[in-house]
Amino acid sequence: MTYNGVANMIDPNRITKLAKFLFAATPLPNQAGINPLLGPNLITPTLIPTTQNTTSIRIDHRFSEKDLIFGRFTYGTNDHWLGTTVMLPIDIGDYPNAVAASNRHWPNHTGALTWVHTFSPTMTNEVLVNASRDYQWRGSGDKHTNYAAALGLPNPFQAANWPNFTNFGLTSPTSTGTYPYGTAGLFWLVSNFGLIEDNATKVHGKHEFQFGFHIRDEWIGKSANSTAGSFDAGTLATSLYDPASTAASPQALPLTGFGLANFELGVLNYNAVVPAPLV
């Protein structure tokens, strides 16, 4: 491949809009003298902005000499960017300038109710009800924007999350050959917990009797698939044909071709996995 008589150069008119868009948003190297084929040539500090909020409501009320009620509801959130990679200046979706970082949204709800009833000086009953729901979501970008469509990429399942790009042939801090932004796939972890308990106490003479029941239910759901899919630049599209191979089984000449050039030309392999929904 030549351009204006220069070997191994791509005609700028053949470079895809996606490649131009991502490269324009990628910070320039700041480590002089490092070959990107051998090691990372960009090292930067990463911020981890965090926002935490907790709101609680509590009620204590004695309805009568025989009935006492206690109730509490708490709602909390924990939102932060994990900062596993440098944030890119891409203004798409809910997280402008940080679309390719790994974002975490972690709300939780807890509630408790206690009712104490006195039947007589020798008998009391306590009813306890507890419930909680912990929902953790994290991934690159937000969880509803169709980033692939915004980038002009196929997305047959209309999935959210930032797509993954692999096999560029470059060395990144996270993994060799992977474009080091947007590699955190969607992840959900949901924990539901419920408890109903009754405790009765009866005093008879010198004896004390305690009886009741305890019902507990727990449900945990997890999904860790990148639903936006992965675009693989290791297609050998820019490799030379190995003349030692046959037309029935063509092979690429070893040590030829470059994944980054395949990406610039838009010759990629695509695969996606759709996880089962959580309830």
- Give per-residue pLDDT as tens, 132-191: 999 888 777 777 888 888 888 888 888 877 888 888 887 655 544 566 566 666 778 889
Phi, psi (rounded to 5 degrees) for 113: -140, 130
Answer for the pair 87, 81: CB distance below 8 angstroms, yes or no. Answer: yes
**Mean pLDDT over the full length of the chain:** 84
Q: Which three-class secondary structure state does DSSP give residue 249?
A: coil
Q: How confident is the model at residue 220 (pLDDT cuts 50, 70, 90)?
A: confident
Please report the DSSP string for 5-31 in residue order: TEET---GGGS-HHHHHHHHHSPPP-S
Residue 97 is predicted with a pLDDT of 58
- Residue 65: both structure tokens together: 């000499």
**Is the pLDDT higher at 266 or at 4?**
266
Is the pLDDT assigned to residue 48 strictly greater than 60?
A: yes
- Nearest 5°: CA angle at 39, between 98 and 175? 55
